[in-house]
Amino acid sequence: DTEVTQTPKHLVMGMTNKKSLKCEQHMGHRAMYWYKQKAKKPPELMFVYSYEKLSINESVPSRFSPECPNSSLLNLHLHALQPEDSALYLCASRLAGRDTQYFGPGTRLTVL
Amino acid sequence: GQQVMQIPQYQHVQEGEDFTTYCNSSTTLSNIQWYKQRPGGHPVFLIQLVKSGEVKKQKRLTFQFGEAKKNSSLHITATQTTDVGTYFCWLFYNQGGKLIFGQGTELSVKP
Protein backbone atom coordinates (compact mmCIF):
# COMPACT_ATOMS: atom_id res chain seq x y z
CA ASP A 1 0.00 0.00 0.00
CA THR A 2 1.74 3.16 -1.21
CA GLU A 3 -1.21 5.44 -0.79
CA VAL A 4 -1.80 8.61 1.14
CA THR A 5 -5.49 9.40 1.53
CA GLN A 6 -7.02 12.78 2.27
CA THR A 7 -10.54 13.70 3.24
CA PRO A 8 -12.59 15.54 2.28
CA LYS A 9 -11.77 16.04 -1.40
CA HIS A 10 -13.55 19.37 -1.46
CA LEU A 11 -14.53 21.72 1.36
CA VAL A 12 -16.40 25.00 1.31
CA MET A 13 -16.48 26.94 4.55
CA GLY A 14 -17.37 30.36 5.86
CA MET A 15 -14.95 32.58 7.69
CA THR A 16 -16.54 31.77 11.06
CA ASN A 17 -16.59 28.00 10.61
CA LYS A 18 -14.37 25.40 12.22
CA LYS A 19 -13.41 22.46 10.08
CA SER A 20 -10.71 19.80 9.89
CA LEU A 21 -8.74 18.16 7.11
CA LYS A 22 -7.61 14.58 7.53
CA CYS A 23 -4.66 12.69 6.11
CA GLU A 24 -3.88 9.00 6.53
CA GLN A 25 -1.10 6.66 5.47
CA HIS A 26 -0.32 3.06 6.35
CA MET A 27 3.17 2.82 4.90
CA GLY A 28 4.90 3.12 8.27
CA HIS A 29 6.21 6.56 7.35
CA ARG A 30 7.30 8.60 10.34
CA ALA A 31 7.48 12.04 8.68
CA MET A 32 4.31 13.76 7.53
CA TYR A 33 3.83 17.12 5.85
CA TRP A 34 1.17 19.70 5.16
CA TYR A 35 1.52 21.88 2.07
CA LYS A 36 -0.63 24.66 0.66
CA GLN A 37 -0.77 25.11 -3.11
CA LYS A 38 -2.32 27.99 -4.98
CA ALA A 39 -3.16 27.72 -8.66
CA LYS A 40 -0.13 27.83 -10.96
CA LYS A 41 2.22 27.93 -7.95
CA PRO A 42 4.46 25.34 -6.29
CA PRO A 43 3.40 23.71 -3.03
CA GLU A 44 4.40 25.75 0.01
CA LEU A 45 5.49 23.85 3.07
CA MET A 46 3.36 24.58 6.15
CA PHE A 47 4.18 21.96 8.79
CA VAL A 48 6.36 18.90 9.25
CA TYR A 49 5.80 16.19 11.82
CA SER A 50 8.58 13.77 12.61
CA TYR A 51 7.81 10.79 14.84
CA GLU A 52 4.51 12.46 15.76
CA LYS A 53 6.20 15.64 16.98
CA LEU A 54 5.98 18.97 15.23
CA SER A 55 9.44 19.65 13.86
CA ILE A 56 8.84 22.49 11.39
CA ASN A 57 6.27 25.28 11.41
CA GLU A 58 6.88 27.64 8.52
CA SER A 59 5.44 30.67 10.33
CA VAL A 60 1.90 29.58 9.56
CA PRO A 61 -0.92 31.71 11.04
CA SER A 62 -2.51 30.27 14.16
CA ARG A 63 -5.86 29.84 12.39
CA PHE A 64 -4.22 26.67 11.03
CA SER A 65 -3.60 24.11 13.77
CA PRO A 66 -1.95 20.78 12.96
CA GLU A 67 -2.32 17.62 14.98
CA CYS A 68 -0.70 14.20 14.71
CA PRO A 69 -2.71 11.79 16.90
CA ASN A 70 -0.64 8.77 15.85
CA SER A 71 1.94 7.71 13.29
CA SER A 72 -0.69 7.09 10.59
CA LEU A 73 -2.86 10.17 10.96
CA LEU A 74 -2.37 13.87 10.40
CA ASN A 75 -5.05 16.49 10.88
CA LEU A 76 -5.21 20.17 10.03
CA HIS A 77 -7.75 22.10 12.08
CA LEU A 78 -9.09 25.25 10.48
CA HIS A 79 -10.71 28.17 12.28
CA ALA A 80 -11.58 31.71 11.24
CA LEU A 81 -9.99 31.38 7.82
CA GLN A 82 -9.79 34.14 5.25
CA PRO A 83 -10.79 33.96 1.57
CA GLU A 84 -7.10 34.09 0.62
CA ASP A 85 -6.66 30.77 2.41
CA SER A 86 -8.59 29.11 -0.42
CA ALA A 87 -6.18 26.64 -2.00
CA LEU A 88 -5.35 22.98 -2.51
CA TYR A 89 -4.04 21.49 0.74
CA LEU A 90 -1.70 18.59 0.20
CA CYS A 91 -0.52 16.04 2.69
CA ALA A 92 2.64 14.02 2.12
CA SER A 93 4.52 11.36 4.00
CA ARG A 94 8.06 10.10 3.93
CA LEU A 95 9.83 7.09 5.41
CA ALA A 96 12.30 8.32 7.99
CA GLY A 97 15.78 8.03 6.60
CA ARG A 98 14.60 7.94 2.98
CA ASP A 99 13.56 11.02 1.15
CA THR A 100 10.84 10.12 -1.35
CA GLN A 101 7.66 11.96 -0.55
CA TYR A 102 4.30 10.40 -1.29
CA PHE A 103 1.57 12.95 -1.79
CA GLY A 104 -2.12 12.54 -1.18
CA PRO A 105 -4.65 13.81 -3.73
CA GLY A 106 -5.31 16.95 -1.71
CA THR A 107 -8.31 18.80 -0.31
CA ARG A 108 -9.55 21.70 -2.37
CA LEU A 109 -10.63 24.34 0.13
CA THR A 110 -12.81 27.34 -0.65
CA VAL A 111 -13.33 29.98 2.02
CA LEU A 112 -16.31 32.25 1.42
CA GLY B 1 19.09 32.90 2.46
CA GLN B 2 18.67 30.18 -0.10
CA GLN B 3 17.16 31.15 -3.42
CA VAL B 4 16.00 28.84 -6.17
CA MET B 5 15.25 29.62 -9.79
CA GLN B 6 13.50 27.12 -12.05
CA ILE B 7 13.29 27.92 -15.75
CA PRO B 8 11.52 28.22 -18.04
CA GLN B 9 8.16 28.94 -16.44
CA TYR B 10 6.28 27.58 -19.46
CA GLN B 11 7.29 25.46 -22.43
CA HIS B 12 5.08 24.65 -25.38
CA VAL B 13 6.41 21.96 -27.71
CA GLN B 14 5.26 19.93 -30.67
CA GLU B 15 4.97 16.23 -29.95
CA GLY B 16 8.30 14.59 -30.68
CA GLU B 17 10.38 17.62 -29.75
CA ASP B 18 12.71 17.58 -26.75
CA PHE B 19 12.14 19.48 -23.50
CA THR B 20 14.45 20.62 -20.72
CA THR B 21 13.80 22.35 -17.40
CA TYR B 22 16.53 23.73 -15.18
CA CYS B 23 16.69 24.26 -11.45
CA ASN B 24 19.37 26.58 -10.05
CA SER B 25 20.18 27.23 -6.41
CA SER B 26 22.17 30.07 -4.90
CA THR B 27 23.72 27.72 -2.35
CA THR B 28 24.92 24.13 -2.27
CA LEU B 29 22.26 21.47 -1.97
CA SER B 30 22.20 18.30 0.04
CA ASN B 31 20.11 16.60 -2.61
CA ILE B 32 17.36 17.33 -5.10
CA GLN B 33 14.18 15.58 -6.14
CA TRP B 34 12.01 15.99 -9.20
CA TYR B 35 8.21 15.75 -9.22
CA LYS B 36 5.54 15.83 -11.91
CA GLN B 37 2.08 17.23 -11.33
CA ARG B 38 -0.58 16.60 -13.94
CA PRO B 39 -3.34 19.19 -14.35
CA GLY B 40 -5.79 18.72 -11.47
CA GLY B 41 -3.51 16.17 -9.83
CA HIS B 42 -0.97 16.00 -7.07
CA PRO B 43 2.84 15.90 -7.26
CA VAL B 44 4.29 12.48 -8.07
CA PHE B 45 7.89 11.61 -7.29
CA LEU B 46 10.15 11.02 -10.29
CA ILE B 47 13.74 10.80 -9.08
CA GLN B 48 16.21 11.78 -6.39
CA LEU B 49 19.77 12.97 -7.08
CA VAL B 50 22.34 12.97 -4.30
CA LYS B 51 25.87 12.81 -5.72
CA SER B 52 27.79 15.55 -7.43
CA GLY B 53 27.67 15.10 -11.21
CA GLU B 54 25.07 12.34 -10.96
CA VAL B 55 23.12 11.39 -14.09
CA LYS B 56 20.07 9.15 -13.98
CA LYS B 57 17.80 7.96 -16.77
CA GLN B 58 14.21 6.77 -16.81
CA LYS B 59 13.21 5.79 -20.34
CA ARG B 60 12.96 9.14 -22.18
CA LEU B 61 13.80 11.20 -19.08
CA THR B 62 17.36 12.17 -18.14
CA PHE B 63 18.17 13.86 -14.85
CA GLN B 64 21.46 15.58 -14.04
CA PHE B 65 22.94 17.03 -10.87
CA GLY B 66 25.66 19.62 -11.28
CA GLU B 67 29.22 19.10 -10.11
CA ALA B 68 28.86 21.90 -7.56
CA LYS B 69 25.49 20.53 -6.39
CA LYS B 70 23.87 23.87 -7.10
CA ASN B 71 21.91 23.05 -10.22
CA SER B 72 19.99 20.28 -11.86
CA SER B 73 18.16 19.56 -15.08
CA LEU B 74 15.42 17.31 -16.36
CA HIS B 75 15.46 16.48 -20.06
CA ILE B 76 12.70 14.67 -21.93
CA THR B 77 13.52 13.23 -25.34
CA ALA B 78 10.78 13.06 -27.97
CA THR B 79 7.93 14.39 -25.87
CA GLN B 80 4.55 12.73 -25.89
CA THR B 81 1.15 14.09 -24.92
CA THR B 82 1.35 12.03 -21.73
CA ASP B 83 4.28 14.22 -20.63
CA VAL B 84 1.96 17.20 -20.15
CA GLY B 85 2.07 18.67 -16.66
CA THR B 86 4.15 20.82 -14.36
CA TYR B 87 7.60 19.64 -13.37
CA PHE B 88 8.94 20.77 -10.00
CA CYS B 89 12.33 20.43 -8.43
CA TRP B 90 12.38 19.98 -4.64
CA LEU B 91 15.50 21.03 -2.85
CA PHE B 92 17.10 19.95 0.42
CA TYR B 93 19.61 22.27 2.02
CA ASN B 94 22.06 21.00 4.60
CA GLN B 95 22.15 24.41 6.24
CA GLY B 96 19.03 24.83 8.35
CA GLY B 97 17.42 21.72 6.86
CA LYS B 98 15.39 23.91 4.51
CA LEU B 99 12.97 22.26 2.04
CA ILE B 100 11.93 24.30 -0.99
CA PHE B 101 10.03 23.60 -4.19
CA GLY B 102 11.15 25.30 -7.37
CA GLN B 103 8.61 27.50 -9.15
CA GLY B 104 7.81 24.75 -11.63
CA THR B 105 7.89 24.45 -15.42
CA GLU B 106 4.55 23.88 -17.10
CA LEU B 107 4.90 21.71 -20.19
CA SER B 108 2.25 21.57 -22.89
CA VAL B 109 2.59 19.21 -25.85
CA LYS B 110 0.78 19.80 -29.11
CA PRO B 111 -0.07 16.55 -30.94
Q: pLDDT, tens digit, for every residue of B44-96?
A: 999 999 999 999 999 999 999 999 999 999 999 999 999 999 999 999 877 66
User: Would the pLDDT of A1 be above 80?
Assistant: no
- Nearest by CB to residue B103, choosing from A42, A102, A103, is A42
B3 touches A at CB < 8 Å: no
Q: pLDDT, tens digit, for every residue of A66-88?
A: 999 999 999 999 999 999 999 99
Q: Which residues of B touch A31 (CB under 8 A)?
A: none
Residue-level pLDDT at B93: 78
Got the DSSP string for A36-91? EE-TTS--EEEEEEETTEEEEE-S--TTEEEEEEETTEEEEEEES--GGG-EEEEE
Integer Cα distance of A17 and B90 in angstroms: 34
Length of chain B: 111
Q: pLDDT, tens digit, for every residue of A37-46?
A: 999 999 999 9
Sign of CA dihedral B50, B53, B58, B60: positive
Q: Are residues A101 and B33, on separate chains, in Cβ contact within 8 Å?
A: yes
Residue-level pLDDT at B95: 67
Q: pLDDT, tens digit, for every residue of B30-45?
A: 899 999 999 999 999 9
Q: pLDDT, tens digit, for every residue of B2-17?
A: 688 999 999 999 999 9
Q: Residue A42: what are its φ and ψ, rounded to 5°?
A: -75, 160
**Chain centroid to CA B60: how far?**
14
* Minimal CA separation from B48 to chain A, in Å: 8
- Nearest by CB to residue B88, choosing from A42, A48, A92, is A42
Rg, C-alpha atoms of chain B: 13
Q: Span A15-37, mean pLDDT?
A: 95
Q: pLDDT, tens digit, for every residue of A100-110?
A: 889 999 999 99
Q: How confident is the model at residue A97 (pLDDT cuts 50, 70, 90)?
A: low
